[in-house]
Structure 1
Amino acid sequence: MSRVEQPSRRTVLAAVVAAAVTTGAAPAAADINAPVGQGAAGPARLVDNRAWTTFTDWRSGTARGTRPVAGVRPGLVIDRPAGTTDYTDPHTGTTAAWEYATWTSPVHTLAVPATEVIASWNAATPAGTWIEIELKGTYSDGTDTPWYVMGRWAAGDQDIRRTSVDDQSDGRSSIWTDTFAVDDASTGLRLTSYRLRLTLHRRPGTKATPTVWRLGAMGSDVPDRFTVPASAPGLAKELGVPRYSQEVHKGQYPEYDNGGEAWCSPTSSQMIIEYWGGRLTDEQLSWVDPSYADPQVCHAARHTYDFQYAGCGNWPFNAAYAATFRGLQGVVTRLHSLSDLETLIAAGIPAITSQSFRAEELTGAGYGTSGHLMTVIGFTADGDVIANDPASDDNEAVRRVYKRREWENIWLRTKRYDANGKVRSGTGGVCYLYFPARPSLQQRRALAAVGVR
């Protein structure tokens, strides 16, 4: 994100929105705060989350060379490789052989036939290992998608360059960086079910293995809308989340999306990671120029960078980075309203939200943006949003209070007008949640209330 309105790299979503307006499609007036399952009396549920995390979950899939491991944090590892494959890294040109093993999830039937699906995963990838995540779905007309690559990922960048994969489409749906999207939702086509496939890789002849602790996806069918209903304030509370500015890193490490001015996502991630006690060692930070303040933000940018997207804003890559810290897990989801965020804040769980807006649409921001991540840390007695906004001049200026009604609308809408009057896309309530691998009872209840387990 920068301080000026810029075209989003997820341009296709804006194009679809513009096409819908051009053809006269009216924005839906759905009440996103309606209870789940209202049916004919009101809107249906909009989001479906499914994750595989338990030993039983890992045993339920189809394994080719993988095995589940028990323990405090059950996971999936390579047992006996299913074979060897060559991989040419598109960002280095290097071709190398890798042993691999796979795990394919059972079919998950979506409670919400979806126009979009975003996968999330939590894993450890020691040196000499990496993972690939794929999705294959079934449409509402009974036909199938191809296997789509949702990410090729490693925690570090010494073996492969973590990457999304462009130019994946079957003419009915496409992958846009980190998001599966039905190309034309106005046709009524939806994804009704999916499977996820993990491929774990390691250098031949070694015993190294990735360990995957969490794999899942969020499917959603959020109606097109320029405005959303207002929720009533219900909580006054503020969490003690560290404050970091992306702007103090402007010009640093331009190889990672032109430096700090574009680092809203990793800066927000680092704030919440440290809120939960995640710390980087001096050794991990030794590569950072010692004259730079807050070197952990530079580290977060490097380790969330998507070499295809050419940026640090890949949503699942940020959640996966958070989960590399001991005792943390991360997911990407959509929430329905600020009431959901209040539920999480009440349980001590801050959230990272994605929004886009013109400068005059968010009082006090002082900038407009086609996509920006902020950390929601609480609510005032009047219900206004307390946010750690990394697009601030320095760390002290990061804490902001934004008007509830303005903030809720710019976050939850799917359509908006840019400074030139053109229709652009909004994120429809996208949110990163980072929370303990072993959450408390109150935290589990809060997460379950917003559809995450």
Structure 2
Amino acid sequence: MTRPTSRRTVLTAAIAAAAGAGAAASAVPASAAPSRTSRTSSSPAAASLVDNRFWTTYTDWRCGSSAGTRAVAGRRPGLVISAPAGSTDYTDPHTGTTKAWEYATWTSPVHRSAVPATEVIASWNAHTPQGTWIQIEMRGRYSDGTDTPWYVMGRWAAGDTDIRRTSVDDQTDGRSTVWTDTFSLDDVASGLRLVSYRLRLTLHRAPGTSLTPTVHRVGAMASDIPDRFTVPATAPGAARELPVPRYSQNVHVGEYPEYDNGGEAWCSPTSSQMIIEYWGRKPTPEDLAWVKPGLADPQVCHAARHTFDYQYEGCGNWPFNAAYAATYRDMNAVVTRLGSLTDLEKLTAAGIPVITSQSFLKGELTGAGYGTAGHLMTVIGFTADGDVIANDPASPSNDAVRRVYQRREWENIWLRTKRYDANGAVRSGTGGVCYVYWPAGVSAGQQRVLRSLGLT
């Protein structure tokens, strides 16, 4: 199976070249490849490797500093515009249209990371009715006491009629760079690390209206681990298989090529849609009215459109997928890293499937039948022998989506931070990157597992 190289893969190659890691990216196809070399994990056993911090409670929203925003209490607390702090003109780089917007801001308290970090990935959950959008920024402090600029981590709206949701390229201070969705130090070997950060939300609305976005969650995962080609093996844990819907991205090959060349590159939104529907949510018929009649699984087309990053020119922006999942009723969604299959088994045993990001050569993952510079799939459980049961969207049909992959192969492919491409050049691995989605009101046991991994 071959698929075209994604823009995330191109960015990966650029990073590797800058670090002296090798030649151009593999021509082996990709749907959503990793964005940086040094990757980390999240587990009690690897507590020094990752730091998750999410602001989501009423108390959280009342902390920090506000200019025109206010906290809203209730079952799902949030942050809204109270009175605009000012107005601004925004020229959308993807349409050329300039429009005026009222705005208000909230800046988090300084969070000192438990991990002096080489990377930070932000994620957020928000409701953005038509006529509103949000911007998420991060400013960090280096271990030498100096600060980064305010980096834009995303400009986001659930729809695409007010602004085109976008990452922002060419953000660097010569010491760190934002690669699509990931803040990364440029020279990890120098010993420089990010020791703390703040996040800033800017909420926008059409002038003269009472509209407002509502942000329910914002936060980040900071991490730092040594580069590694292999990871320690873990012993099998609980066996369970979750009844997650099965969707193939390849059913949609050639459909809506304006969204990342069509379905062959839709591994991320296809995986997101599987888990959204596992939790009993789906687009309404009105939501799907724009999809051409007669297409199979139109909700997958919908997911691709509403995760598409107009700068990255793809559907594989990690936080944009989490933000899309959280547009559904009472859904929470984060981007993080896990430290082992043991962590993943805890989640699936608790009834929580997980979307994982990995890259591998053809032949490294027995039964896959393809190689990829980056691909998302949905882990739905484990066999009694500890092998991974995955809904792999890179399958020829929905019926073929369920796969069983060998535990040791899958574990190493997912958790490694370094790998070789088909030409023998060193490339990056994701080091355990995953999306975790869950609804409000999960069981006490599910809440305990999420809390143990730093996700609530």
When normalised by structure 2's length, the TM-score is: 0.94
Q: Is the 8 A contact 1:164 1:308 kept in 2?
A: yes
Q: Is the 8 A contact 1:164 1:178 kept in 2?
A: yes
Task: State how far apart, in whole Å, the 1-side matches of 2:270 and 2:107 are.
Answer: 33
Deviation at 1:2, TM superposition (A): 5.4
Runs of 4+ in 1 over 6 A off after TM superposition: 4-7, 30-34
Deviation at 1:20, TM superposition (A): 9.3
* Partner residue, 1:321: 324
Q: Percent identity?
A: 75
Write the letter of the residue equivalent to 2:10. R
Deviation at 1:222, TM superposition (A): 2.3
Q: Structure 1, unaligned stretches of length 5 or more?
A: 22-27, 37-42
* Partner residue, 1:275: 278
Deviation at 1:290, TM superposition (A): 1.1
* Partner residue, 2:28: none
* Partner residue, 1:92: 95
Task: State how far apart, in whole Å, the 1-side matches of 2:10 and 2:125 are.
Answer: 25
2:27 is aligned with 1:10? no
Deviation at 1:89, TM superposition (A): 0.1
Instruction: Provide the secondary structure at the position in 2 that maps to 1:278.
Output: coil
Instruction: Provide the secondary structure at the position in 2 that maps to 1:355.
Output: strand
Task: State how far apart, in whole Å, the 1-side matches of 2:311 and 2:452 are.
Answer: 35
Task: State how far apart, in whole Å, the 2-side matches of 1:218 and 1:143 are.
Answer: 21
Pick aligned residue for 2:129 from 126, 130, 133: 126
Task: State how far apart, in whole Å, the 2-side matches of 1:302 and 1:364 are.
Answer: 30
Q: What are the superposed Cα offsets for residues 410-431 of structure 1, whole Å, 9 maximum, x if unpaired?
A: 1111110001111111111000
Deviation at 1:6, TM superposition (A): 6.9
Matched ranges for 1:108-127 at <5 A: 108-127=111-130
Task: State how far apart, in whole Å, the 1-side matches of 2:284 and 2:42 are.
Answer: 43
2:403 is aligned with 1:400? yes
Write the letter of the residue equivalent to 1:267. T
CA RMSD of aligned residues (A): 1.9
Deviation at 1:19, TM superposition (A): 3.6
Q: Is the 8 A contact 2:334 2:436 kept in 1?
A: yes
Matched ranges for 1:165-184 at <5 A: 165-184=168-187
Task: State how far apart, in whole Å, the 2-side matches of 1:412 and 1:184 are.
Answer: 22
2:358 is aligned with 1:355? yes
Deviation at 1:235, TM superposition (A): 1.3
Q: Is the 8 A contact 1:17 1:424 kept in 2?
A: no
Instruction: Provide the secondary structure at the position in 2 that maps to 1:266.
Output: helix
Q: Which moved more, 1:185-194 or 1:442-451?
A: 442-451
When normalised by structure 1's length, the TM-score is: 0.94
* Partner residue, 2:383: 380
CA distance 1:2–1:268, change in 2 (3 Å): farther
Matched ranges for 1:72-221 at <5 A: 72-221=75-224
Q: Is the 8 A contact 1:4 1:367 kept in 2?
A: no
* Partner residue, 1:231: 234
Q: What are the superposed Cα offsets for residues 308-366 of structure 1, whole Å, 9 maximum, x if unpaired?
A: 00000000000000000002110000000000000001110000000000011000100
Task: State how far apart, in whole Å, the 1-side matches of 2:448 and 2:231 are.
Answer: 26
* Partner residue, 1:391: 394
Task: State how far apart, in whole Å, the 1-side matches of 2:172 and 2:5 are.
Answer: 29
* Partner residue, 1:434: 437
Q: Is the 8 A contact 1:5 1:419 kept in 2?
A: no
Q: Is the 8 A contact 2:41 2:223 kept in 1?
A: no
Instruction: Provide the secondary structure at the position in 2 that maps to 1:150.
Output: strand
* Partner residue, 1:25: none
* Partner residue, 1:24: none
CA distance 1:178–1:97, change in 2 (3 Å): same
Instruction: Provide the secondary structure at the position in 2 that maps to 1:286.
Output: helix
Q: Is the 8 A contact 1:152 1:162 kept in 2?
A: yes
CA distance 1:402–1:421, change in 2 (3 Å): same
Task: State how far apart, in whole Å, the 1-side matches of 2:267 and 2:6 are.
Answer: 14
CA distance 1:200–1:32, change in 2 (3 Å): closer
Q: What are the superposed Cα offsets for residues 112-162 of structure 1, whole Å, 9 maximum, x if unpaired?
A: 011000000000000100000000000000000000000000000010000
Q: Structure 2, unaligned stretches of length 5 or more?
A: 24-36
Tell me the matched-pair count.
Answer: 440
2:297 is aligned with 1:294? yes
Task: State how far apart, in whole Å, the 2-side matches of 1:174 and 1:203 are.
Answer: 32
